[in-house]
Amino acid sequence: MGIVDYKQHVAKSISDFLVEQLDLRSLTVSSLTVILNRNGMSITPKSIHAWIAGTSTPKAEHVLGLADYFGTSTDEILGAYADEFYEEEKGND
């Protein structure tokens, strides 16, 4: 699997995770921004929208902050154990 595939996988995983969490917690991007900034992250709604759109990915410290706030692992946010990821990888052996 090439580096572009990893980048696409990570961008999609972050987007899917954020969309799901915003829905589950009835949060808006604006309210999430306020919460994350109160927790010490310097982030803008524009950045979160870009993560959801898959046009950019968060810095490592932002992934850690998201994991801390949402009570999950960075692996889950990044899609490290996603079944479809491993199926693609097996097919490339």
Q: Does domain 6-78 have CATH number 1.20.1560.10?
A: no
Domain-wise residue ranges, the chain: 6-78
| pLDDT tens string 35-81 | 999 999 999 999 999 999 999 999 999 999 999 999 999 999 999 87
What pLDDT, on the 0 to 100 scale, is given for residue 80?
A: 87
Its pTM surpasses 0.75: yes
Label residue 21 exposed, middle or buried (CB < 10 Å: 0-12, 13-18, 19+).
middle
* 68/74 Cα distance (integer angstroms): 9
* Residue entry with tokens 């995770």: 17
Q: Is the pLDDT of residue 92 over 70?
A: no
* Residue entry with tokens 């990915």: 57
